[in-house]
Amino acid sequence: MYDLKFGSDGLIPAIAVDAATNEVLMQAYMNEEAVEKTLETGEAYYWSRSRKKLWHKGEESGHFQKVKSVFADCDRDCLLLYVEQVGGIACHTGSRSCFFNEIKRFDDMPGNVRVLRVLSNTIKDRAEHPKEGSYTDYLLAKGVEKICKKVGEESTEAVIAAMKGDNRELSNEIADLFYHLFVLMFARGIDYTDALKVLEERHDCGADTPAREAKPVKKK
């Protein structure tokens, strides 16, 4: 089957990655039937080693994985699935990713782009499953005009914090601004990855091209 190399147990490791952010979501195993079902349906199927049965990801939780593409590694003994994670949760613990047990960090980089996807998914979840007292639900119910006013307010507060020289307050205000911008993007039907694509285009930071200073956008 596709020249894939299954282990002596008839299984091949499969890693699921968020197609939009490249975040590693989970690692599981597939047998031939799981591979066939995944390629046939466009949704992820795995083999449960504990239950000894075929497992349609999301069949109980509703957190299906819509497969965008499937790759085999150079030895064809491991699969990589680029997926859209329905509901924003891949792990049975309720976590976005199964890889949350940090063993050691070698730099000071916080959270990285993963937190952006978590924020985006949280806003989407609030819209689909309203909760009493949710500030996000309140903003979405008020509409774009109200959200835009809040974006303006948070922008002003960030400027004030910068002028005061208070970097801690500035960080907090920028975080608030990020949140309101994400709500605005959702309300207008775009994803933060749309903005990231624009940044990539401006900086020519493709996979084989080093990033360089962006050229200013000419006003007409």
Per-residue pLDDT of the chain (220 residues), as tens digits, is 789 999 999 999 999 999 877 889 999 999 999 999 999 999 999 999 999 999 999 999 999 999 999 999 999 999 999 999 998 899 999 988 999 898 887 765 555 566 887 888 889 888 888 888 999 999 999 999 999 999 999 999 999 999 999 999 999 999 999 999 999 999 999 988 888 888 888 876 544 444 444 444 454 4
Going by C-alpha positions, the residue among 125, 133, 120 that lies closest to residue 184 is: 120
Distance CA 203, CA 211 (A): 6
According to the model, what pLDDT value does residue 112 have?
59
Residue spans per domain, the chain: 12-88, 114-203
Distance CA 108, CA 94 (A): 26
According to the model, what pLDDT value does residue 208 have?
44
According to the model, what pLDDT value does residue 214 have?
46
Under CATH, which architecture does the 12-88 domain have? Roll (3.10)
186 token code pair = 């959702």
Q: Which fold has domain 114-203?
A: Helix Hairpins (1.10.287)
User: What own/partner pairs with CB < 8 Å and gap ≥ 24 does 1-8 have?
Assistant: 1/32, 1/35, 1/36, 2/35, 2/72, 2/76, 3/76, 4/35, 4/72, 4/76, 4/77, 4/79, 5/75, 5/76, 5/77, 6/31, 6/32, 6/77, 7/77
